[in-house]
Every structure is written in C-alpha cells, then in structure tokens.
Chains A and B, each alone.
Chain A
Amino acid sequence: DVKVTQSSRYLVKRTGEKVFLECVQDMDHENMFWYRQDPGLGLRLIYFSYDVKMKEKGDIPEGYSVSREKKERFSLILESASTNQTSMYLCASSFVSQETQYFGPGTRLLVL
C-alpha cells in the first residue's frame, strides 16, 4: 500500500511565524506535490517536484517555498505566515510514468 504521511494533523501558528510542513512517502515516487484545499475553491496546486532538488511553481506559489533534499521527503515552508494561509494542506505523490496521485491525510493549519 502506498503511504504518504504528513508531519502534523493540526497546527496553530501566529502571523509572521515561519511554518514548516513536512511530507514523506514510502513508495519511491519521483513526483511530489503540495496543494491547499479551501471550501468552494477545491484543490489548488502550490508547488510540484519531479526529482530531488527540482521544483516547479503551481498555480498559487506566492508566500510559499519548498525543499526536496531527499527523494522521499518534500517540505512546504511558509516564510511569514499570514491569516489568509489558514487552510487544509495536502501532500501527494506519484510515479512519473503513472497518472494517479496518492494523498496524505492533510494538515489543517490555523494562522492567528
């Protein structure tokens, strides 16, 4: 079974704090993704990585950065958290040759 894990289920942070969200997958997938999910807006892609140290911006990268130092691990960084970054953050992974993405359980982030 594919397993994608995320470091926290719930996080509460203050405005201006630096926030790290970590994702680990155990299936040797090349591709990893970070999405945010908001009511009425669905899933929106923040960043995508297709290999170690490689990344591409998604649809809403502003205010976020990512890091992929190892194949199994993909981190999302909020440099200076703001209240409009309160959301559900979802990590996903897939093989480069496969179209199906597998999701982690999500991190619900509240920025006060």
Chain B
Amino acid sequence: QKEVEQDPGPLSVPEGAIVSLNCTYSNSAFQYFMWYRQYSRKGPELLMYTYSSGNKEDGRFTAQVDKSSKYISLFIRDSQPSDSATYLCAMSEPGTYKYIFGTGTRLKVLA
C-alpha cells in the first residue's frame, strides 16, 4: 500500500463547477499538508499549505484536512479553464525534510 493515494483522473468538469480533489494517506504522523498545481511541462507551484487539521481558504481554493480519516481535500469553486492542470498532494512529518507526494490528479475544465 502506498503511503499516499491519489486518484489519477482525468477528471473533466464544465466551467463554473465545484471541483473536489482528494488524497488519502496511511501515516498518522503527517502534520504538514500541501497542494501543488502543475501545468503541462512545467514545475509544480505551491497552491495551499495546511498544518494539522482544519480548513484553509484562499480565493476560490479551500484545503481541508481530516486527520481522523487520514483524508485531505482541495476544493475549487467556480472552476475555470485556466485551472486545467495536474494537482499534486504532498505531506510530511515534523522534523523531516522528506515530502511524500501523491501521483497527481489531472483536471480538465471545459469551456
């Protein structure tokens, strides 16, 4: 079993839809949770960073962490064609440099 599982997609939605992207994990020691967006043939860019449990909102993006279920989510409201990209989740334990990445979910927002 992988430490971090992420549905690869592709996920196709119409413009304006609410998108939900998810990762599950097995290591209960993870405390730091990140979402990266990666456009085709580019490097990942940091979207959201959350420490421990709870929600964090930034514009149209909301990151949610449920540590009891070992489940994290990224919600995108009013999705736009420019949101079409691969979304990677990443997580790490305190005191370690090492990130564990999901394999990414490919999202396509149709105009």
Contact = CB atoms under 8 A, between A and B. Distances in A.
A binds B: yes
Contact of A90 (B32, B34, B44, B46): B44
A105 interface: yes
Interface string B100-111: 011110000000
B42 A42 contact: no
Contacts of A99: 32, 34, 49, 51, 92
Interface of A is mostly: strand
Contacts of B51: 99
A103 B43 contact: yes
A105 B42 contact: yes
Interface string A26-52: 000001010000001111010010100
Nearest to A48: B97
Residue with the highest number of chain B CB atoms closer than 10 Å, among A33, A96, A101? A101
A45 B98 contact: yes
B14 interface: no
Contacts of A101: 34, 46, 90, 99
A84 interface: no
A42 B41 contact: no
B45 interface: yes
Interface of A: 4, 31, 33, 40-43, 45, 48, 50, 58, 90, 94, 96, 99-106, 108
Interface of B: 8, 32, 34, 36, 41-46, 49, 51, 88, 90, 92, 97-99, 101-104
24 contacts: A4-B43, A33-B97, A40-B8, A40-B103, A42-B88, A42-B101, A42-B103, A42-B104, A43-B88, A45-B99, A50-B97, A58-B98, A94-B97, A96-B97, A100-B34, A101-B34, A101-B46, A101-B90, A102-B46, A103-B46, A104-B43, A105-B42, A105-B43, A108-B41
